[in-house]
Amino acid sequence: MSVLTAGAAHPATPALAPSGGVRVIGWGAAVPEHRVTNHDLTRHLDTSDEWIVERSGIRERRWAGPGESTGHLAVAACRAALDRAGTRPDQLDAVLLATTTPDHPVPSTAAEVAAALGTTAGAFDINAACAGFVYGLTVAAGLMTAGVARTVLVAGADVITSILDKGDRQTAVLFGDGAGAVVLAAGDPAETGDPGETGAGPTVAGPPGLVACDLAGDPGGVDLLVVPAGGSARPASAETVAAGEHHLRMDGREVFRRAVRAVEASIERTLARAGCSPEDVALFVPHQANARIVEAVLARTGLDPARTLSTIDRYGNTSASSIPIALSEAADAGTVAPGDLVLMSGFGAGLTVGTALWRWGTLTPAGGDDV
């Protein structure tokens, strides 16, 4: 089911962005200090560095220590993004946090992050598992297009180790913890359609912001990634804890199979809606779940491996934070330039899939200097 359709809109049609476009004016990421290598895992799991690298591309990951919750990491990433943007917390209109491992059932972790930052902005969590950051970007673009918000903080953060059975070799080797965030700002309407920003990669003219997107589900996969207990359907009890039902259970092989097909289809729908081809994409930022999933998606879509970000060897699958962490690193490295088309695609429990084609722009909302 596709819930947001841009139709066959011309790339310059501002259907998914306010008239002045939306710019990413700040970005940041945070990961725990504690580094866990594949060799470290072999001390308590029947696995090997060779198996993990060959099957997933992962060499190490970061695991949270005491006090390093989802909210803690999110605040660090958000502060870095706000600093980079030169934006004060009191200038924010909304705080969106994509997470599947909130600090508490109540309140939302977004509300706790907003409180820690010192903003009265409306704050809420989005749970779309590993696709959450793309869903967050899409919701933020909608709020901005509707005129509800002009400056929005969108973060993806997860401490997946809080629901991980570290004794289960099928899941324990794959996941890591982290957070990433961006600050979005609505542009000056006078800059509508300004095609003057050209990046290093292929560029299709138009204002910065969301060009096209696709949010979809695969209901047949709803039972493939589940934490059985701890929610209203099966509240936590001594019995559920004893049975390990507070841990993530996954049918990895079936998730793999469905993810490749779902991500391929979602990318094709998004590019078709934008009127773009894979060659127009300057940077592809896939969810970092498994290097082999990304390779399969590249082979099926024709996207360029040389323009595809990969952080999986260093961080593993960090769930909702994997895309904003990779994006932050690319922005820090200057890999993405104003005018570039950035394609982000994530999938996760649900199964959910989400793809966003975003035209990068980093001018200040007032139309000032490049940052």
- Residues binding ligand ACO (CB under 6 A): 47, 51, 55-56, 129-130, 169-170, 173, 225, 250, 252-253, 255-256, 259, 289-290, 317, 319, 348-349
- Catalytic residue, from 78, 130, 213, 276: name it: 130
Using alpha carbons, select from 144, 147, 82, 143 the residue that is nearest to residue 116.
Answer: 82
35-40: list long-range contacts, CB under 8 Å, 24+ apart: 35/60, 35/61, 35/62, 36/60, 36/61, 36/62, 36/63, 36/176, 38/173
Neighbours of 257 (CB within 10 A): 15
Neighbours of 36 (CB within 10 A): 18
> In angstroms, how far is the first alpha carbon of the chain from the final one?
38
Given the complex with ligand ACO, which of 124 and 256 has the nearer CB atom?
256
Shortest Å, Cβ 77 to ligand ACO: 19
Name residue 357's beta-bridge partners: 212, 343
d(CA 81, CA 140): 16
Burial-class residue 45 by CB neighbours within 10 Å (0-12, 13-18, 19+).
Answer: middle
Shortest Å, Cβ 178 to ligand ACO: 13
72 to 102, 105, 112, 117: CA distances (angstroms): 11, 16, 9, 11
Given the complex with ligand ACO, which of 48 and 192 has the nearer CB atom?
48
- DSSP string over 287-340: --S-HHHHHHHHHHH---GGGB---HHHH-B-GGGHHHHHHHHHHHHT-S-TT-
Shortest Å, Cβ 30 to ligand ACO: 19
Given the complex with ligand ACO, which of 193 and 252 has the nearer CB atom?
252
Contact yes or no for 352/320 (Cβ under 8 A): no
d(CA 156, CA 146): 23
Q: Would you state the structure tokens that stand for residue 97, as one six-digit string? A: 């946090």
In single-letter form, the type of residue at position 189 comes to P
Shortest Å, Cβ 228 to ligand ACO: 15
Given the complex with ligand ACO, which of 28 and 346 has the nearer CB atom?
346
Given the complex with ligand ACO, which of 35 and 292 has the nearer CB atom?
292
Given the complex with ligand ACO, which of 41 and 80 has the nearer CB atom?
41
Q: Would you state the structure tokens that stand for residue 122, as one six-digit string? A: 């409306």
Shortest Å, Cβ 333 to ligand ACO: 25
Shortest Å, Cβ 336 to ligand ACO: 24
Shortest Å, Cβ 365 to ligand ACO: 34
Given the complex with ligand ACO, which of 222 and 241 has the nearer CB atom?
222
- Catalytic residue, from 38, 72, 287, 290: name it: 287
Indicate left, alpha or beta for 49 from its phi (over 0: left) and psi (-120 to 50: alpha). alpha
| 130 carries an active-site annotation | yes
Q: Any idea which residues carry the catalytic annotation?
A: 130, 287, 317
